[in-house]
Amino acid sequence: MIVRVGGTVLLSLLGLGLAGMMYEGYVRDLFLKTPRDLSELISTGADPIQFLDPETMDPYSGPVFLTEIGSLSTPQLKMSGTLEQGFWHGPWENYDEYGELIMQGTRNMGVACGVWIEAGLERTYEPCPPGVETDWSHIEPE
């Protein structure tokens, strides 16, 4: 449908509303979805590794975490991030056995990009695409 408003022509696509609703649902599911334990997923491939849902064998998308038994014999967060089509995508963090953050950065479909903090040192990879980069500048290297 084409709509003319004050001499300006606006093109309104019928599918645009549907695409917007699908995107809204994706964002809602991605950010409101309960994080899933990474150990429940199946890993495949080499670098980058892809993670699959064991029930459907489809690439998994959503927030994930990994825990391991820490120094006090209690579960400690080891890793957290988000998967997109089975690949790490967006902010990613890794913790030591004491729960201390040892590495953080951003991944673009499994590949490190942008600025990373590794063992208190800053390391820079190829720039991330717009919208993927996470600003870690508020974190001061130790």
d(CA 70, CA 73): 5
Domain annotation covers residue 1? no
Domain annotation covers residue 110? yes
Can you spell out the DSSP letters for 77-100?
EEEEEEEETTEEEEEEEEE-TTS-
Question: Which pLDDT value is given to residue 97?
Answer: 80
CB 82 within 8 A of CB 63: yes
Domain annotation covers residue 92? yes
Closest CA to 103 of 115, 89, 114, 119: 119
Question: Which pLDDT value is given to residue 132?
Answer: 81
Domain that holds residue 63: 11-124
Question: Which pLDDT value is given to residue 71?
Answer: 66
* Intra-chain end-to-end CA distance of the chain, in Å: 57
What total of structural domains would you count in the chain? 1
Q: Phi/psi at 20 (nearest 5 deg)? A: -60, -40
Rounded to two decimals, the pTM is 0.68
Spell out the per-residue pLDDT of the chain, length 142, in tens. Answer: 343 444 433 333 333 333 333 344 444 444 567 899 999 999 998 878 999 999 999 999 999 999 987 667 778 899 999 999 999 999 999 998 888 899 999 999 999 999 999 988 999 999 999 888 655 455 554 4
Question: Which pLDDT value is given to residue 31?
Answer: 53
Domain annotation covers residue 49? yes
Handedness of CA 86, 88, 90, 96 (dihedral sign): positive
